[in-house]
Amino acid sequence: AVSDVISNKGEETLRAPICCVMGHVDTGKTKLLDCIRGTNVQEGEAGGITQQIGATYFPVENIRERTKELKADAKLNVPGLLVIDTPGHESFTNLRSHGSGLCDIAILVVNIMHGLEPQTIESLNLLRMRNTVFIVALNKIDRLYGWKAQPNKPVRKSLNQQSKDVQNEFDRRLIEVITQFKEQGLNTELYYKNKNMRETFSIVPTSAISGEGIPDLLLLLVQWSQKTMVEKLTFRNECTVLEVKVTKGHGTTIDVVLVNGMLHEGDQIDPIVTTIRALLTPHPMKELRVKGTYLHHKEIKAAQGIKITGKGLEHAIAGTGLYVVRRDDDLEEVKECAMQDMKSVTSWIDKSGEGVYVQASCLECIFNKKDPIILGVDVLEGILKIGTPICVPQKDFADIGRIASIRFNEKAVDHAKKGQKVALKIVGTNPEEQQRMYGRHFDNDDQLVSHITRRSIDTLKAYYRDDLSIEDWRLVVKLKTLFKIQ
Ligand code: GDP
């Protein structure tokens, strides 16, 4: 299948973007494809280009070679580009609607001599309907009167070589096309002048006869898709955190479902920003939740249910995606995806922010004194959430463990709010150590608070500032003072 074209190099993590060519009849769609396929390819060597059923695959090495004159030292981290060969097909009209749905990105071909034509507008509407991003190839620039062809040159170089008359004519026609797009409600701009690629569509002047502008088109296709579609083109992000919990002998772990892609020991994961220490699965035939020993894996391919161990996993939130940061990644971009995910989950779990803070007092009904401690509490302030580390300020700030579960009105809940009386299960943080004990290390005269840190305050400030009420912030400040955090 077309979408199966992926990198086989392992270290690359993006799949090839799928591109289709659309536009009015005779604008040069077929010729443009031929040109992309054929130009600059040395004799006897197809540069790795492979013809597939209904599509052509361009490996990134080929694209790099053909775009080197653009001196874009940009990283190309997709393995290649897959272009659907629709124009030549008889059933093109039909395929056109399917093709655009399958595609990540499209080339909308416009004849510079004719401007927008009926099928251009039809294609445009299809693309808009499907929210497909596209690049306009303003084709047949060699037809401008007096044009001096510079075969296969980047288009800016070519334009600079033209006479003033040709340049003026080009500008005039370009402005006309931009105006026509405006009439369709679209902002377009010459690609190298386009400052806002997310709102303004780019125009690349091309000639399918001389090959001018083709390097620009190829580079823009690859760069734009890898810049704006990291999520869509990534195998790695189809991993969802099912549960965050303490596993005996492993500290806090996360149970995840790896739907697509691959995880390795040592992978850096976000949004928690930690490194995978171990990838564990139950022994065959045992379900992930069943207690016991685990099999260790160096790497695991989707689809699988996996338990992950590593530092800081208590900050993970069930229901969010897990993102792997690879060597070449734009960390900021990955982080942004991860954070958006986290926000969308936390906002339905709890509008008032991450429950890394709470103040609770013990009630009379102790169910279990240690390993785990099970007791009833009154939530006095803030929000109580699973995973929160709890300590006792009156007893020398003794850490008594982390909240493993919360029950309210006989039901398991993931958080509790001010004013609620809930039962808590608190497990030790360090499996090597004996858990502190109710009755010996603390009792029902003591107040429990979440053990906040500089890091948790920074997290709150960075990502949940607007979600916290003034009252919530007052508690954070109170705890900050209590813990003498600078
Ligand atoms: P399609 O119907 O959009 O697939 O258009 P074709 O690729 O079949 O091109 C239609 C005609 O325009 C053919 O005669 C091509 O040779 C010609 N053509 C396509 N691109 C260019 C170009 O960039 N410059 C010139 N001068 N002719 C072109």
Per-residue pLDDT of the chain (486 residues; tens, 9 = 90+): 222 333 333 334 677 787 888 888 899 988 898 888 764 443 333 455 655 445 677 778 888 888 888 866 667 777 788 777 655 443 344 444 444 456 778 899 999 999 999 989 988 888 887 778 899 999 999 999 999 999 999 999 999 999 999 999 999 999 999 999 999 999 999 999 998 887 899 999 999 999 999 999 999 998 888 777 776 676 544 677 777 888 888 888 988 877 666 788 988 886 666 889 999 877 655 445 455 678 898 988 766 678 899 988 877 777 667 777 765 556 566 566 555 555 444 333 322 223 334 556 554 476 677 777 888 888 888 888 877 788 888 888 888 888 888 888 878 887 888 888 888 888 876 656 677 887 788 877 788 888 888 877 877 777 677 777 788 888 888 888 888 887
Q: Which pTM was predicted?
A: 0.52
- Closest residue to atom 18 of ligand 1, CA basis: 28
- Closest residue to atom 16 of ligand 1, CA basis: 31
**Does the N-terminal peptide bond of residue 271 adopt cis geometry, omega within 30 degrees of 0?**
yes
Cβ–ligand 1 contact at 28 (below 6 Å): yes
Cβ–ligand 1 contact at 87 (below 6 Å): yes
Shortest-distance atom of ligand 1 to CA 25: 2
CA of 31 to the centre of ligand 1 (A): 5
CA of 448 to the centre of ligand 1 (A): 76
Q: What pLDDT is recorded for position 190? A: 97
From the list 114, 140, 147, the residue with the least C-alpha distance to 35 is 140
The best mutation among 26, 85, 170, 207 to test binding of ligand 1, ranked by most ligand atoms within 8 Å of the C-beta, falls on: 26
Q: Are strands 278-282 and 274-275 parallel, antiparallel or unpaired?
A: unpaired
Give the model confidence (pLDDT) of 155-179 as tens digits.
Answer: 999 999 999 999 999 999 999 999 9
DSSP strands (E only) in 60-174: 80-84, 105-111, 133-139
Give the model confidence (pLDDT) of 21-44 as tens digits.
Answer: 888 889 998 889 888 876 444 333
Measured CA to CA in angstroms, residue 379 lies from 152, 204, 389, 454 at distances of: 71, 61, 15, 23
Give the model confidence (pLDDT) of 362-418 as tens digits.
Answer: 544 766 777 778 888 888 888 888 777 888 888 888 888 888 888 888 788 878 888
Cβ–ligand 1 contact at 207 (below 6 Å): yes
CA of 55 to the centre of ligand 1 (A): 19
Cβ–ligand 1 contact at 29 (below 6 Å): yes
Distance in angstroms between the alpha carbons of the first and the last residue of the chain: 57
CA of 177 to the centre of ligand 1 (A): 18
The best mutation among 31, 84, 147, 214 to test binding of ligand 1, ranked by most ligand atoms within 8 Å of the C-beta, falls on: 31
CA of 149 to the centre of ligand 1 (A): 16
- Closest residue to atom 20 of ligand 1, CA basis: 28
CA of 134 to the centre of ligand 1 (A): 20
CA of 26 to the centre of ligand 1 (A): 6
Place of tokens 């001018």: 212
Task: Give the number of other Cβ atoms within 10 Å of residue 218's Cβ.
Answer: 22
d(CA 340, CA 350) in angstroms, rounded, equals 15
Q: What is the mean pLDDT of the chain?
A: 76
Place of tokens 């995840």: 256
> With b meaning 16 or more CB within 10 Å and e meaning fewer, what string describes 8-26?
eeeebbbbbbbbbbbbbee
DSSP 15: P
Task: Give the number of other Cβ atoms within 10 Å of residue 484's Cβ.
Answer: 7
